[in-house]
Amino acid sequence: MDDSRYAFAELEDEQLDELKRLEQELTAASGQAVTLIAYEKKDAE
pLDDT at 16: 84
First to last CA, the chain: 50
Q: What is the DSSP string of 12-43?
A: -HHHHHHHHHHHHHHHHHHHHHHHHHHHHHHH
**Against a cut of 0.85, is the pTM above it?**
no
User: How many C-beta atoms surround the C-beta of residue 1 within 10 A?
Assistant: 6
- Per-residue pLDDT tens for 10-26? 778 888 889 899 999 99
